[in-house]
Amino acid sequence: MKRFFLEFLRRGAIASGIGPIVLAIIYMILHQAADVETLTVNQVCIGIFSLTALAFIAGGLNALYQIERLPLMPAILIHGSGLYLSYLGTYLLNDWLDFGIIPIIVFSAIFVVGYIVIWAIICSIIKRNTEKLNRMLNQKRQSEKGT
């Protein structure tokens, strides 16, 4: 558990530097799309702190996959739930999402679909790389048998 906690802190610290950059991009998009001209000091500060915390949590949660005794599916569920709650809280805190049933349902649906698509892409890449490594190992074994 201590190793997980230290890895969580290390990964979170690395990722948290990305939070303010992401916030700047979001504010630029809001400026272009929603015609947001000014932000209060409070909005900027909450945005910086909340995105830094979100990046820290998102980066740190990846340490779940380093726990050898934790099966993949529970790790995915814990990771996805942690990310979902973190993103939802950040969006609501920054008023990027209206607090109401319909906006939260739409957000949830988009999050779940996006999470599944990303995992499908990751799984297909891992499967392709595993098959490639297995082919290479089989070729090496065959060449060793032939000599």
Q: Which pLDDT score is estimated for 83? A: 94
| Position 147 pLDDT exceeds 70 | no
What confidence tens digit (pLDDT) does each residue in 16-67 have? Answer: 777 778 788 888 888 888 777 787 888 888 888 898 889 889 888 888 887 7
Task: Name the residue with higher pLDDT: 55 or 2.
Answer: 55
Q: Are 39 and 14 members of one domain?
A: yes
Confidence of residue 127 (pLDDT cuts 50, 70, 90): very high
Q: Which pLDDT score is estimated for 82? A: 94
Number of folded domains that form the chain: 2
Q: Are 110 and 64 members of one domain?
A: no
Contact partners, residue 53, CB within 8 Å, separation at least 6? 16, 19, 86, 90
What confidence tens digit (pLDDT) does each residue in 63-115 have? Answer: 888 777 888 888 889 999 999 999 999 999 998 888 999 999 999 999 999 99
Of the three residues 61, 81, 97, the one that is the final residue of a domain is 97
**Number of C-beta neighbours around residue 3 at 10 A:** 10
Contact partners, residue 86, CB within 8 Å, separation at least 6? 53, 54, 57, 58
Q: Which domain holds residue 10?
A: 1-97
Q: Are 106 and 129 members of one domain?
A: yes
